[in-house]
Chains A and B, each alone.
Chain A
Amino acid sequence: MLLPLTKMKNGEEGYVQEITGGDELKNRLAALGLRISLKVAKVSGLFLGPITVRVGQTQIAIGHGMAGKIILEVQR
């Protein structure tokens, strides 16, 4: 099922399907290594705080607003 990163559970994994909200965000995330079709694991996130994910060898913390624009395919 498709979920924004904010709705995923901690520890869950998914594949990035779409990044809504324009090229700027897409490029910033790509520069940090987060791109369409890559596997992403959510490490943590609480309430409206930033969300930490693991992509490949990197951990990235993403502000809540931006995280809501990252849509992933998650197996549940």
Chain B
Amino acid sequence: MRKILLIGNPNVGKSAVFSRLTGLQVVTSNYPGTTVEFRKGYMLLGTEKVEVIDVPGTYTLEPTCKAEEVTCDILKAATKEALKTGDVVINVVDATNLERNLYLTLELMELKIPVIVALNMWDDTKHRGIHLDLNQLAEWLGVPVVPTVAVTGEGFARLIGQIYKAKPPKVRKHTRDERWEDIGRIIGLAQRLEHRHHTFLEWLQDLTIKPETGLPFAGLIALVAFFVIRFIGESLIGYLADPFFDYLWAPVLHSLSNLMGNGGLLHDILIGNLIAGRIDYVQSFGVLSTALYVEFAMVLPYIIAFYLVIGLLEDSGYLPRLAVLMDNLMHNIGLHGFAIVPTLLSFGCNVPGILATRVLESKRERFIASTLISIGIPCAALQAMIIGLLGKHGIFPLLIVYGTLALTWLALGMILNRLTPGFSPELLLEIPPYRFPPAPILLRKTWWRIREFITEALPLIIIGVLVVNLLYRLNIFDAIANVTAPVVSGLFGLPKEAIVAIVIGFLRKDVAVGMLVPLALSVKQLIVASVVLATFFPCIATFVIFIRELGIVDMLKATAIMLATSLTVGGLLNFILSRF
């Protein structure tokens, strides 16, 4: 099968082009390094099926530092391997940033493979007063040049039409300096810049990156984001999810319960235990009651809210600015500022967060960032349940939980920075301009992420509830509870049965928090339990991705750190809170 490779600088819209060509759903953002994997898809060219490959962004084919060597080698090898007769490279280029982007174009042409240049974000050139002479450009380069707008689809019919007209260019190998000289000539001929005054967006760009104004702005964004997420989440629960479960689903379940004689093995598994003759969505613990309620009425509304907000932040281009502002702080924990991006993503789910640490250059940074994420960053599902349970007691207990986790994250980071061998490089980052892609793009991205959450979490939640029922029936929990009682009761000050939740937390953290409800914990105990659940073993999905990304040895190290942290922090917190 013939192949089309999409190659270009970071953050030029390769994934949007990929999406457009293949119809596949991939997440796009406005920061360099959204794509960290090679992605494959297919498209029809006439009647012929061809493979399309989306490649992580790169500025050049020669590695410019140690960290890039791997990426560049993979890229070169893949390009050589992939490109057989009839294969084509679409070089996706940011039309508003031609000069820098052309370097890679020239390098690609020197590989003597058919290249088509897609001048993406073409619509932006007009707002920015950039005039490009397409004929001059195509003539100088000797390859087809097609203006495109990947988010709207403009120019794609022409782009696809050009695919097999591309011929391998006959260009000899150049030195770096020669390439830059050539680029200077091309730009002189083909690009004209109009002088204009600063726009509002440019003013905002400067304001948000200068520490003096940017840091207060970042604080404001964090506050607004928190309240917007709570507002959307609570509205969805109050006006949609709860009414549905109370008025529509509960009668169905009660009839079903009556049909099964209000008891028996199947009844207990599907409906759960009746509490005072009624189904209690949180405490009954049946597959059709608690499992569905926790997923759809307690967790999902916050997941929707979180991904809407983070999606907007991603697409706008704000996150790289946050990375610059956080750089100083992050160096204390052995990371540079860009590590804030995977960390923020982890507040949704740790799995994509740990995957996103691939943008960090060294293995040391990836280990520190991933370990800190699995210990100190509670995922949206866990947070939704903690807010649901603790929120009733006011904002103060929540502040203690979040404050403890933040302190743990920081303190552990500083320790890991001292103890982990290797060095962490400095920040060097392109800051994209602010862009506001059309709303359907944001909504579509949010929808994919929500669907992914449902398909991945629902089976695990159901399995979790099944396992809990099974273990109760077999009386296994009592045995475990007695063994672990010294730690759970002695150190954490929790009833010994709380171990059940901690164990189940390995499957799903949200189900685990739900299991705390029947224990009727005091506020102090709820705080300690929330922190322990958050810092203890990450859920199984995080575990698997950790092993895949960093290997079994690092995972074991991280596990040991987790255990030590969880015991220390949980014990200390219990000790301190008991003094009040």
By a beta-carbon cutoff of 8 Å, the part of chain A in contact with chain B is 10, 24, 27-33, 35, 43-44, 46-50, 52, 56-66
Contact = CB atoms under 8 A, between A and B. Distances in A.
B554 interface: no
Contacts of A62: 426-428
A64 B426 contact: yes
A32 B428 contact: yes
B498 interface: no
Nearest to A24: B65
B508 interface: no
A43 B205 CA distance: 10
Given A52-B209, A57-B100, A59-B205, 5 more contacts: A33-B97, A46-B212, A52-B324, A61-B320, A61-B327
A44 B180 CA distance: 27
A53 B433 CA distance: 13
Contacts of A30: 64, 103, 176, 180
B97 A49 contact: no
Interface in B484-529: none
B429 A60 contact: yes
B466 interface: no
B431 A44 contact: no
B242 to A, nearest CB: 45
A49 B130 contact: no
Contacts of B209: 43-44, 52, 59, 61
B206 interface: yes
B100 A32 contact: yes
B64 A33 contact: no
Q: Which 7 A-B pairs have the closest CB atoms?
A: A63-B426, A31-B59, A33-B100, A59-B431, A44-B210, A27-B64, A28-B64
A50 to B, nearest CB: 5
A44 B208 CA distance: 10
B328 interface: yes
B417 interface: no
A30 to B, nearest CB: 7
A32 B426 contact: no
Interface in B120-138: 128, 130
Contacts of B103: 30-31
A47 B328 contact: yes
Contact of B430 (A10, A44, A59, A64): A59
Of A30, A35, A43, most buried by chain B (CB within 10 Å of CB) is A30
B188 to A, nearest CB: 13
Contacts of A47: 328
13 contacts: A24-B64, A27-B62, A27-B64, A28-B428, A32-B59, A35-B180, A50-B337, A52-B324, A56-B97, A57-B128, A59-B433, A63-B428, A64-B426
B100 A56 contact: yes
A65 B99 CA distance: 26
Interface in B195-234: 205-206, 209-212, 214
Nearest to B63: A27
Contacts of A49: 211, 324, 327-328
B3 interface: no
Contacts of B206: 43-44
Interface of B: 59-60, 62, 64-65, 96-97, 99-100, 103, 128, 130, 176, 180, 205-206, 209-212, 214, 320, 323-324, 327-328, 336-337, 425-431, 433
Contacts of A43: 206, 209-210
B328 to A, nearest CB: 5
A48 to B, nearest CB: 7
B537 to A, nearest CB: 35
Nearest to A35: B180
B327 A44 contact: no
Contacts of B337: 50, 61
A29 B431 CA distance: 14
Nearest to A46: B211
A58 to B, nearest CB: 6
B96 A57 contact: yes
Contacts of B97: 33, 56-58
A30 B176 CA distance: 10
B60 A31 contact: yes
A54 B97 CA distance: 12
Nearest to A67: B426
A64 B210 CA distance: 15
Nearest to A62: B428
Contacts of B176: 27, 30
Nearest to B100: A33
A60 B210 contact: no
Nearest to A66: B426
Contacts of A29: 428
A4 to B, nearest CB: 15
A33 B187 CA distance: 13
B97 to A, nearest CB: 5
Nearest to B329: A49
Nearest to A64: B426
Contact of B327 (A28, A32, A50, A56): A50
Nearest to B187: A56
Given A31-B103, A46-B212, A57 B65 contact: no
Contacts of B210: 10, 43-44, 46, 52
Contacts of B96: 57
Nearest to B94: A57
Contacts of A48: 328
